[in-house]
Structure formats: C-alpha cells, structure tokens
Structure 1
Amino acid sequence: MIFIPLPFVVALLLVILLARMLRAQEPSEGNRPFLALVGLCALQSVGVGLRWGYGLAELRYMLPVVASCLPPLVLASFRVLIHRDVADAGSARWLHATPPVIIVALLLLAPVLIDVALIMIFVGYALAVLNLGRAGPDALDEARFDGAVAAHRALIIAAASLCLSAFFDLAILMDFEWSKGKNVAFIVSNANLLSLLFISLTAIVASRAQARAATDTAQAPSMAAQDREALDRIRNLLVDQKLSRDENLTLSRLARRAGVPARQISGAVNRLAGKNVSQYINDFRIAEACRLLRETDMSVTSAMLESGFQTKSNFNREFRRVTSLSPASWRESARSPDV
C-alpha cells in the first residue's frame, strides 16, 4: 500500500485553491503576494512530507529557509489592502528579505539557534500584521467595502496562525530537549496541517476583498474640510452619483473621488454617524436594495448585485443589521396591504 503523508494532502488542497484563485481573478501586481503566499505554503507542505514522511534528511536545510519567507509574505499580502505612498512602501521593503538571510547564516554558523530565530520571526510578524489592522476594517482602505470586514477578520486569523506556528516551533524545541525529538514528526505534520491551511485560507479571503484596477482620476485632497462638509461630499457621491453601487468601491478610491483624505472620511463617519465606513456605505446599499425589493419584481439576488453587494452572506448580514429582517421577509412585509 502506498504511503501518502498528510502534508502531501495539504499541498494538493493548496494547489487546488491556488488554481481557483488564478481562475477567479486575473493576476496583477496587487494580488501577487496572495498567490505567492499560497504557492509557498504548498511548497512547504511538500517539503515537510518528503522530510518527515520519506526521511529525506537533506531537506532540513531548505525547510527553515522556506518557513522564514512565510511571515514577510503574510505581511506583504495584507499591506496591498492598505494605501501607502510609494516612497514609504519601497524604503523599507528590503528589510523583509532579512529573515531568510538570517536563517541561512544560522544554518552555516549556529544551527542550534534556528528554532529560536523562527519563533522570534513568526511572533514579530504576527504583531506587525495586527498593527496593520489596529484601526479595524477601515484600516483596509484598498479593500472593497463589501469585503473589508471579512478581510480584517482574515488579518486577525493570519496573525493568530503565525503565533500558532511559533508555538509549534517551541513545542519542537522542547521535544528535542526533553525526548530527543521522538515526537517531532507528529508535531510537524499537525503544525503543517493547521498553520499553513489557516494562512492560505485567510490569504484567499483577503484577496477576494481586493478591488480591481480603478479608472477614476485622483483629485487633490482638501485638508481644511470639516467633518460635515466631508460627509456631504460623500453622501453626494453615494446617492447622486450612485457610487455606493460600485462593488469595487474602497475607502481609498472614495477619498480620491471626494478629494478628502481617507483618514478624515473615516473620522467624520465615526464621529457624525457613529459607525465605521463599511457600515455607512452598506446603509446606502441596503436602502437601494429595499427600494428594488419594494418597487420591482427582481429576485433578491438581483437586488443584492444591483445595490453593490457581491456575496449573499454579507448582504443578508447587513440587511438584518439595518432592517432586523431577512430580505424575503422585508419584501413580504413591505408589500403587505396592512402596511
């Protein structure tokens, strides 16, 4: 009977997910980190399967280097959902190449320190990823409003997965210390199954929230605009110009169209409307969906798409948040002769 290590099954699943990502969206500079992350997780799974399933000891030199590349790629993947000046993004980009360089140096000079270094790298990047989303879904200003909440949750899960990987590295280190590595194969296989799957799935969720290339032109931001003026501009774009129906709308794109800094829009919505920008935009979308459900015979799915939503789960959740009813129940209530 042919023995197939569990990491090979994980690798096959990741390759299938990568193929689906490539089919679902055209490769672009923005989604390359997500694609590279899933591909690297698949490569890591194959390496783990060969190393611990078939005893290829030579791979012990490759696996730590590949593992050290994962945290920088996780950070890079979520950074594409946040607007950054080109200078700021490029000035420190070279620093993220240092983890694999450090691991290679330790392989040559002090192999005993590799596990400790990997733990520090994974925990450090987990904190960096959490720092990206410290302001909540509004921090992901390049993510579509329809997917910003899910992308922010994916960010938190990805950071937790990095910490989980660090925990498993610590467990491996302790196992070598206490039982001379007797349980390492079991620990590595389970770490591979959980951590790499979590990281890859969160990358897929976050990549779906990425907006396609914008065609609107940038306008000079008005730094002196007050909250009310900013909100009036946003309302004009969302209602009069029907921008809320754009399923690829992001905070960054909205800021460019309004000529108002994204941070000021977020602050104005928080202070005056008492909610985050995603909820504020979805309020307009739900209002449009309600109009369509009340005045037309189009299906709930058609009303969902026409109003700017892309997923039923997000549409149903937001519809219940605003109306306390499901779309079908709301339509029946709105058309009831007693109402």
Structure 2
Amino acid sequence: MIFIPLPFVVALLLLIFLAAVLRSQESSKGNWPFLALVGLCVLQSVAVGLRWGYDLAELRYLLPVLASCLPPLVLASFHSLIHFDKAEAGRAHWLHALPPIGIVALLLLAPELIDAALIVLFVGYAVAVLNLGRTGPDALDEARFDSAVAAHRALVIAAASLCLSAFFDLAILMDFEWNTGANVAFIVSNGNLLGLLLIGLTAVVAARAHAPPATGSNMIQASSMVAQDREVLDRISRLLVDQKLSRDENLTLSRLARRAGIPARQISGAVNRLAHKNVSQYINDFRIAEACRLLRDTDMSVTAAMFESGFQTKSNFNREFRRVTSLSPVSWRARNRSSRPLHI
C-alpha cells in the first residue's frame, strides 16, 4: 500500500486553493506576494513530507531556511494591501532577506541556535503583521471595500498562525531537551502543518481582496488644504451617488482618496467622527440603499441587485443588508412591495 504523508495532503489542498485563485482573479501585479506565499507553504509542506515521511535527512538543512522565508513573505503580502510610498517601501525590502541569510549563517556556525532564532523570528513578524492592521479594516486601504473586513480577519489569523508555528518550534526545542527528540517527527509532520495550512488559507482570502491596479487617469494629488469633516463627507457622498462610484466592486480607500483629492486618513477620520462607523460600512450603506431601490422599483433578482449595487459575495451582501435594514433582502422586498399594484 502506498504511503502518503499528511504534509502531501496539505500541499495538495493548498495547490487546489491556489489554482482557484489563479482561475478566478483578474491578473494583478499586487497579488504576487499572496501567490508566492501559498507557493512557499506548498513547497514547505512537500519538504516536510519528504523529510519526515520518507526520512530524507538531507532536507534538514533546507527546512529551517524555508521556514525563515515564511514570516517576511506574510508581512510583505499584507503590506501590499496598504498604500505606501514606493521609494520608501523599496528601501526596506532588502531587510526582509536578512532572516534566511541569518539562518544559513547559523546552520554553518551554530546550528543549536536555529530553533530559538525561528521562535524569535516568527513572534516578531507576528507582532509586525498585527501592527499593520492595528486601526482595523480601514488600515487596508488597497483592499476592496467589499472584502476589507475579511482581509483584516485574515491578517489577524495569519499573525496567530505565525505564533502557532513559534509554539511548535518551542515544543520541538523542549522535546530535544526532555526526550532527546523522540516526538519531533510527530510535531513537525502533523502539528506544524496546521500553521502552514492556516497561513495558506489566509493568503487565499486576502488575495481575493486585492483590487486590480487603477488604469484611469484619475490619479489626483491629495489636497494641500485640510478640509472640514462635513466637507469631506459631502464630497465623498457626491462621488458615491452622482458618479455611482459606490457601485465599483474594486473600490478601495486609496482609490477613493485619489478620486476625491483627499488624503485617505482624512476620509477615514471624517467618517469615524461624523458617521460613527468605518469606511467599509459607510460605503456599504450607499450600496445597500441602491440595492433597496432596485428591489423595490424593479423586478431584478436579489442576486442581480447585489452585483448591480457593488457587492461581490452573497455572504457580505446579506450581512450588510441585515445590518442596515434588520431584514433579509427577500423579506425587505416583500414588505416594501406589498402595497404596490400588481402589473397584469
């Protein structure tokens, strides 16, 4: 009977998710970090399966190097959902090559320190990832509004997964101290895969949130004068209603800021202070209003109204519809069309 290690099963699942993303997503340069992250999880799962399932001892030198590449790539992936100055970001990219270089140096000079170094590396990058999303979904200003909340949850889960991997590295370290490594194969080939699977899945979720790069000429520079909160909301409302910008399924906070000529942080602050909600909810209020109009005044199906108003997933549409109206779309339509005369 052919023996198939569990890591190979995890690698196959991640490959299926990766294929689904490649098939469903429009081509976007911004997605490459997430695709690379899933690919790295696949590669690491295969290496773990070969090392501990088929006892290929030579891979013991490769596994810690692959592991050290994972946290920087997680950070880079979610970094791509936040607008940064390209020159400033480019200067910092080379720093993320230091972890694998450091692990290679430890392999040559002090291999007994590798487990401790990986623990520090994973926990440190987990903190850095959480810091990216510390202000909530609005921090991911390059994510589509329709998916910003899901992307932010993926960010938190990815950070937790890095900590989970650090925990298993600690368990390996303790097992060597107490049991001379008797349980290492089980811990690595089974427990550590949970972290890889979670990281791969969060990368898939976040990749779907990344909007394609803007192709229009509406790259307006931010206004040099600070506008009052009410003026900001009035300007944003005109864009969302008069120019139907709320129906754009690829709308992001940074793209909205460029169209309005207002800094993204100023928009977020104005919405938080005056509307007492985050920007995603504020935009979705306009989308739900449009969906209600379509459900009330037309014979359009609920699904068609969902897409027409700017939503892309039924789960998000239903959740936001209930938040705004306290009813499901079907119930709302039945209640608000009951008094209309029937067309014969």
Question: Taking structure 1 as the reference length, what is the TM-score of the superposition?
Answer: 0.98
2:134 corresponds in structure 1 to 134
Matched, 1:277 2:285: no
1:59 corresponds in structure 2 to 59
CA distance in 1, matches of 2:75, 2:203: 10
Alpha carbon RMSD of aligned pairs, Å?
Answer: 1.2
1:218 corresponds in structure 2 to 219
Matched, 1:312 2:314: yes
SS in 2 for 1:224: coil
- The Cα of 1:259 is off from its aligned counterpart by 0.2
CA contact (8 A) 2:126 2:159 kept: yes
Q: Deviations over 1:114-143 (max 9, x none)?
A: 000000110000000000000100000000
CA distance in 2, matches of 1:304, 1:11: 35
CA contact (8 A) 1:7 1:192 kept: no
- The Cα of 1:191 is off from its aligned counterpart by 2.8
- The Cα of 1:219 is off from its aligned counterpart by 1.1
1:289 corresponds in structure 2 to 291
CA contact (8 A) 2:11 2:42 kept: yes
SS in 2 for 1:298: coil
CA contact (8 A) 1:37 1:200 kept: yes
CA distance in 2, matches of 1:212, 1:67: 30
1:16 corresponds in structure 2 to 16
> Gaps (5+ residues) in structure 2?
none
> Gaps (5+ residues) in structure 1?
none
CA distance in 2, matches of 1:190, 1:27: 34
Q: Deviations over 1:272-328 (max 9, x none)?
A: 100000000000000000000000011100000000000000000000000000000
SS in 1 for 2:142: coil
Q: Deviations over 1:241-264 (max 9, x none)?
A: 110000000000000000000000
> Aligned runs of 1:104-115 on 2, under 5 Å?
104-115=104-115
Please say which of residues 235-244 and 181-190 is displaced more in the overlay.
181-190
> Aligned runs of 1:154-193 on 2, under 5 Å?
154-193=154-193
CA distance in 2, matches of 1:292, 1:73: 43
Q: Deviations over 1:44-71 (max 9, x none)?
A: 0000001001111110000000000000
CA distance in 1, matches of 2:26, 2:305: 26
Task: Give the counterpart letter for 2:324 in structure 1.
Answer: V
CA contact (8 A) 1:45 1:192 kept: no
> Aligned runs of 1:225-236 on 2, under 5 Å?
225-236=227-238
> Aligned runs of 1:228-267 on 2, under 5 Å?
228-267=230-269
SS in 2 for 1:146: helix
SS in 1 for 2:312: coil
Q: Deviations over 1:150-183 (max 9, x none)?
A: 0000000000000000000000000011001111
CA contact (8 A) 2:29 2:213 kept: no
Task: Give the counterpart letter for 2:221 in structure 1.
Answer: A
- The Cα of 1:20 is off from its aligned counterpart by 1.5
CA contact (8 A) 1:269 1:276 kept: yes
CA distance in 1, matches of 2:215, 2:36: 26
Percent identity of equivalent pairs: 81
1:77 corresponds in structure 2 to 77
- The Cα of 1:27 is off from its aligned counterpart by 4.1
CA distance in 2, matches of 1:25, 1:276: 26
CA distance in 2, matches of 1:29, 1:330: 40
Matched, 1:101 2:101: yes
Matched, 1:325 2:306: no
CA distance in 2, matches of 1:169, 1:159: 16
Q: Deviations over 1:72-110 (max 9, x none)?
A: 110011011000001221111100000000000000000
SS in 2 for 1:214: coil
Instruction: Tell me: higher relative CO, structure 1 or 2? Use CA pairs within 8 A at least 6 residues apart.
Output: 2
SS in 1 for 2:277: coil
